[in-house]
Amino acid sequence: MQRQKGLKLVAKAKKNQAFEILTHSVAPGERKVIEIEAAKLYTHSPLSIPVEIINGQHAGPILMVNAAIHGDELNGVEIVRQLINNVDPKTLKGTLIAVPIVNVFGFIHKSRYLPDRRDLNRCFPGSEKGSLASRMAHTFFTQIAKRCDYIVDLHTGAIHRTNLPQLRADLSNPETLRIAHAFGTPVIVDSPLRDGSLRSEAEKCNIPVLTYEAGEALRFEPIAINAGYVGVQRVMQAIGMLKASRKRLPEAVIAKSTSWLRAESDGILRTVVTLGEQVEKGQVLAYISAPLGHSEIELRAHKGGIVIGQQTLPLVNEGDAVFHLAYFTEDDEMVGQTVETYIDEIIEADTDQLTNGQITTSTL
């Protein structure tokens, strides 16, 4: 065979197979919306989990991106919407399972919980004959989650509590660590697995899971949404589902530990620091005063770190968790600069997307 200088032989991508789920079949290069019955209302009307399957033209891994396991956590719902509107099955390698709303009960009622007040993310893998929460967890876990090679689970802070974009992951798994760095949040928390969570049960099945935390419940927040959307795209590039980008990934720093700083008295809270801010030991983070303002208590950091979460409601009782601080082995100044650069890049990306029909409002 004659050698031709500069000629590169590129192996043809392997064609994908039809993706079978329940009674549905999604051909390569196609997408399909299915409904998975989760439960029934008192009227016997079925309540279903909406799922969109995007089956790539070419073979590759199976990734699930899901949101609203807690029904009031809405940023992830918008991330999933943007994702499915921008993924082309003709160029996709593998299969994307997009689940914008897992806890449909909570979503309808704007509640974190199910009607029985159970937390769905403490009920996995569930039981076919258990409580409502346990049955929903069982259906979702066995019929969808266990089909996946990777999972990105999208969350926010609770009501009146907001989070800096961050990842929670079991970094003892090398593949989980690799895709966590690919996602590209400024802070990665090496978080122990919590029994009953989707992350814990999936990791037991050797499925790497990233839990993305950003923003506050019952709100759409552009920085949290854009950071999540870009992060999921980077993961898809890292696992070979999308064409790799030559753009340098942002630096991510692994937190050595985290802790909550709690209110030392009852009163009205006035914060003087913001998310992502670097704080020093002994620095005043907030003041707690009586309504008439004659007495005031300073809330100080016990040691230096980065603010990765904080309460947004200016009313506190003694013992309330007010600031979530992450601590690092690296130089604090370097970590603070990393966070600041990351936020600037996301804000710039938000400005660039104003003409693309993506969400830019700050609240619902």
The whole-number average pLDDT for the span 281-305 is 93
d(CA 137, CA 149): 19
Nearest to 183 by CA among 243, 248, 228: 228
| Least confident window among 30-34, 189-193, 215-219, 304-308 | 189-193
What is the secondary structure of 30-45 as a DSSP string?
EEEEEEEEEEE-TTS-
Nearest to 119 by CA among 73, 71, 151, 156: 71
Reply yes or no on whether the pLDDT at 321 is more than 70.
yes
How high is the pLDDT of residue 338? 75
What CATH code is assigned to 257-327? Answer: 2.40.50.100
- 3-state SS, residue 269: strand
Residue 173: what residue type? Answer: N
- Domain at 19-253, CATH class: alpha beta
Q: What is the mean pLDDT of the chain?
A: 89
> 361 pLDDT band (50/70/90 cuts)?
very low
d(CA 286, CA 230): 33
The whole-number average pLDDT for the span 274-290 is 95
Same CATH fold, 257-327 and 19-253?
no
pTM of the entire structure? 0.91
Task: Outline where DSSP puts E strands in the chain.
Answer: 19-21, 24-26, 30-40, 46-55, 58-67, 93-99, 150-155, 161-169, 187-190, 209-215, 253-255, 257-262, 267-271, 278-279, 284-289, 296-300, 305-311, 315-316, 321-327
Over residues 240-267, the pLDDT tens digits come to: 999 988 877 767 789 989 999 999 999 9
Over residues 135-174, the pLDDT tens digits come to: 999 999 999 999 999 999 999 999 999 999 999 999 999 9
**What are the domain boundaries of the chain?**
19-253, 257-327
187-190 vs 209-215, strand pairing mode? unpaired
Over residues 11-52, the pLDDT tens digits come to: 467 999 999 999 999 999 999 999 999 888 788 888 899 999
What proportion of the chain, given as a percentage, has pLDDT over 90? 76
111, 72 contact by CB (below 8 A): yes
d(CA 157, CA 165): 10
Over residues 77-113, the pLDDT tens digits come to: 999 999 999 999 999 999 999 999 999 999 999 999 9
Neighbour-count burial for 78-93, b at 16+ CB within 10 Å, e otherwise: bbbbbbeeebebeebb
